[in-house]
Amino acid sequence: MTVPTYRDLASGRLVHFFFAWILVATLLVWLVASAVNRHLTRDVVPRGADLKALPADIADHARLDLRHRRRYGPLHKLSYFGVLFVALPLMVATGLTMSPGINAYAPWMLDLFGGRQTARTIHFVVMLALVAFFVVHVAMVILAGPFNELRSMITGWIRVEPESERS
């Protein structure tokens, strides 16, 4: 598969780099905005209480007992934290490590990841993990009620179930 053209890997590589830099720029803007409005510390960074509640939250999700809350649950926080602060930075770092231009500027990156092929393997494995996260994320939105979930993502308004009903 050579997107966007037929038998032209160079164009595919350019498109890949173009969208990778759009991802990096978008991520940086989101991280700065989320740090300024305290969304990161309030909603994304897991705390001790979240880690203690994680087994029960995993069990609820496994039973498809999906609750509508104002705050992210422990599994939400841990998965978003992992994507934002582990997977995406690792994706960018391994992508840069595979670039000969970056290797000339920062040859230590090759040593950090054990060479270009190891960086490529890590890049590919992280890509698979991100695709799995995306698929599970979309499935959970559909199972939790797509109208309410999409409305809350776009507008910030969400229908929340009273805690007394869900015991």
Per-residue tokens: 57: 């939250």
| CB of 14 closer than 8 Å to CB of 20 | no
Verify that 89 and 125 share a domain, yes or no: yes
Reduced to 3 states, what is the DSSP secondary structure of residue 73?
coil
Q: What is the pLDDT of residues 74-133, one digit of tens each?
A: 888 899 899 999 999 999 999 999 988 888 999 999 999 999 999 999 999 999 999 999
Verify that 54 and 16 share a domain, yes or no: no
Verify that 69 and 119 share a domain, yes or no: yes
CB atoms within 10 A of CB 101: 8
6-20, 40-54, 98-112, 149-163: segment of lowest average pLDDT: 149-163
As for how many domains the chain has, the answer is 2
Whether residue 43 is contained in a domain is answered as no
AA identity, residue 159: R
User: What local confidence, expressed as pLDDT, does residue 8 receive?
Assistant: 74
Q: How confident is the model at residue 145 (pLDDT cuts 50, 70, 90)?
A: confident
CB neighbour list of residue 71: distance below 8 Å, 6 or more residues apart: 43
The residue written with tokens 């890590």 in the block is 122
User: What local confidence, expressed as pLDDT, does residue 3 receive?
Assistant: 63
CB atoms within 10 A of CB 96: 19
Q: Would the pLDDT of 33 be above 80?
A: yes
Verify that 106 and 74 share a domain, yes or no: yes
8-state DSSP, 6: T
Q: Higher pLDDT residue, 158 or 120?
A: 120
Reduced to 3 states, what is the DSSP secondary structure of residue 166?
coil
Q: What proportion of the chain, given as a percentage, has pLDDT over 70? A: 87
Q: How far apart are CA 28 and CA 43, in angstroms?
A: 18
Whether residue 120 is contained in a domain is answered as yes
Whether residue 45 is contained in a domain is answered as no
Verify that 100 and 67 share a domain, yes or no: yes
CA angle at 75 for the pair 165 and 88, rounded to the nearest 5°: 145
Verify that 117 and 58 share a domain, yes or no: yes
Whether residue 42 is contained in a domain is answered as no
Whether residue 106 is contained in a domain is answered as yes
Verify that 83 and 136 share a domain, yes or no: yes
Q: How confident is the model at residue 51 (pLDDT cuts 50, 70, 90)?
A: confident
Whether residue 160 is contained in a domain is answered as yes
Verify that 92 and 28 share a domain, yes or no: no
Whether residue 132 is contained in a domain is answered as yes
Verify that 80 and 21 share a domain, yes or no: no
Q: How confident is the model at residue 4 (pLDDT cuts 50, 70, 90)?
A: low
HSE (CB half, 13 Å, CA atoms) of 12? 9
User: What local confidence, expressed as pLDDT, does residue 162 receive?
Assistant: 62
Q: Domain span at residue 17?
A: 1-37
